[in-house]
Amino acid sequence: MAVARSRLQARLDAAIAAAANPIEAKCLRAERAGLLARQGQLEAAKSVIDEFNAQLAWQPNTPLRAWVALAEGLHGYYSTLGLGAQTSFEQAYMLAQGQAALKRLHALAAAWLAHMAFANEDMARTATLVREALDVAMPEHHGVRARAALVAGYAYHFAAGNTRAHPWYEASRRHAIAEGDETHLSALMHNQAALRASQARLALLFDTAGNAAAQSDAVSHALMGAESIGHYDAGIGTASLASLVPMLRAQVLAAQGRWAEALALFETHFDLALSDGLARQSPCLLADRAWCEWHSGQARKAKALAAAAEQALAQPCDTDDRAIAHARLAQVSDVLGDAVAAQRHREAAQIHYAAHREQQQGVLTLLDQALAGLDPAQV
């Protein structure tokens, strides 16, 4: 499906046509390339990036180099969720600092670096950079404020649940609408749904004394959120990272015991998910697939997938995902009759779950300190 031209894209097109000089027009074109990357138009974005890099090789220009660096970061991130994109964001951030003409870019790069810091589990830097982005941004810098508020929202969601996150999500939504950035609204929906799904799955696996009906409702709401993203993206034509929503749906369907539906999504989208940058989640995905295969009568496949999940745990993996993967592998090992492995995974799951809970409290403290005095309704 072709990507419809967003209001933000239309405004950038008009600004390019009205630019006062060639450098201003090129900087706006580089900014537009970043938007194209976020929409999933990666080839179109790369063409502009390559064009400007060729020019910069013989005619250096700091503002253009800085905007191209941001576009390169966005292209790298939306190609593979790549943490390697951080190098480009860092370059944009460094080049823009202290330059009045690049104040918006400084704030925007800080917001994206906050996003990357969270992905790297560097929570102290996440909180510091969110505050920096909001402090540097002017009131009319809606794109900056949308991104920084989104990072604050999902960091609070991760740490303390949706109630603390909600005002920041609403601030992000408000600025994205003012910016005309439909692609950002999709990202906001995805982050909310992914965190709801993760927290619902954690509750099912670790909160054995919890309210079963409430837990079931939480999983259902997570699935509704995942399906809403798919419908919204189809409506606006976003094509980036197409495997993320199917993998989110598969995990929630597995939590609901809808084995065949989950397996169909895993089988269709798993390989693409790895190339899209979900390798860090592969232990969870493989463990869930193993659980689904066992319930579908495929014990041999379940055993092979469990072994693959355990091997994947040797690679980088977020603490909460590691806890979930071990908990699921304990269940799989139990039904496969391997009591020793089941106990080993149960113990590992509890260790990582405790670390996750400690991490949540640390994030909450850092956010409250960094964002003290800010009212998200006024951000």
CB–CB of 363/159 below 8 Å? yes
Six token digits for residue 307: 């072994």
Residue 204 CA to residue 201 CA, distance in Å, equals 5
Cα→Cα distances 245→27, 41, 188, 257, 275, Å? 32, 18, 13, 18, 14
Per-residue pLDDT in tens (0 to 9) along the chain, 379 residues: 445 568 999 999 999 999 999 999 999 999 999 999 999 899 999 999 999 999 999 999 999 999 999 999 999 998 876 656 899 999 999 999 999 999 999 999 999 999 999 988 899 999 999 999 999 999 999 999 999 999 999 999 999 888 999 999 999 999 999 999 999 998 898 888 889 888 889 998 998 766 666 666 767 777 676 666 654 555 444 555 678 888 989 999 999 999 999 999 999 999 988 887 788 899 999 999 999 999 999 999 999 999 999 999 999 899 999 999 999 999 999 999 999 999 999 999 999 999 999 999 999 999 999 999 999 999 9
Q: Can you give the pLDDT at residue 83?
A: 59
Residue 261 CA to residue 249 CA, distance in Å, equals 9
Six token digits for residue 182: 């439909």
Length of the chain: 379
Residue 280's H or E segment, with its range, is none
Q: What is the pTM of this model?
A: 0.92
Cα→Cα distances 190→231, 247, 271, Å? 12, 12, 20
CB–CB of 41/211 below 8 Å? no
Distance spanning both ends of the chain, measured CA to CA: 35
Residue 377 CA to residue 82 CA, distance in Å, equals 32
Residue spans of the domains in the chain: they are 9-96
Six token digits for residue 331: 């269940």
